[in-house]
Amino acid sequence: MLCQVFASGPADAQESCSLFFVEAINQARHRVWLSSPYFVPDEAVMSALRLAVLRGVDVRILIPSRPDHRTVYAASSLYAMEAVQMGIRVFRYQPGFLHQKVVLVDDRMAAVGSANLDNRSFRLNFEIMLVTVDAGFAQAVESMLLEDFSVSLEQRPEDRARIQRLQHFGMRVARLFSPLL
């Protein structure tokens, strides 16, 4: 199996963690599935996701349905709603808190590690990912994610209308803190 350990941290002059996600998403031709407990992406990652959808890529994001940090969860919920509006399929894991960090691109590349889809992982924390290029491992990751999707609730565009004004306001305030989350 071809694999590479990819480490990043605050001393990175290149912001390599964010660049890793952008490049992985940009390389996808038919699928990019992501799992992260925190979905507070920067503009570059959000743009890459949007462009992937426009290319016809099956973009799915798996996030928890239960918060462990309310502010992060509120900001993440707003990003998730915007992602759904862009055509990204967002799933909320139902059995409990989801803490896995996984990237699956097409049928050969998979990455697992500690990097979340948030600014803290992109720029502030020390993170590590194991990137693999192996059809067998990618298939195992696909099976795991399909099982997780099967016990998750998919968000729909119409879900936005059910959110109360005060809750929506709170989500927008939380998003102001995105660079710190």
Single-letter amino acid, residue 72: V
Q: pLDDT over 70 for what percent of the chain?
A: 83
- Over residues 100-109, the pLDDT tens digits come to 999 999 999 9
Residue 76's pLDDT band (cuts 50, 70, 90): confident
- Over residues 118-170, the pLDDT tens digits come to 888 888 899 999 999 999 999 999 999 999 999 999 998 666 556 656 465 55
For residue 66, what pLDDT is reported?
79
**How far, in Å, CA of 170 to CA of 43, rounded?**
21
State residue 6 phi and psi, 5-degree precision: -120, 115
Does residue 171 register a pLDDT over 90? no
pTM: 0.85
Contact 34, 20 (CB under 8 A): no
Which residues make Cβ contacts (< 8 Å) with residue 140, sequence separation at least 6?
Answer: none
Q: Per this entry, what is the length of the chain?
A: 181
Structure tokens at 46: 């959000």
Q: Give me the domains of the chain, ranges plus CATH numbers.
A: 2-9+16-180 (3.30.870.10)
For residue 8, what pLDDT is reported?
92
For residue 107, what pLDDT is reported?
96
Does residue 49 register a pLDDT over 60? yes
Mean pLDDT value across the chain:
87
State residue 57 phi and psi, 5-degree precision: -75, 140
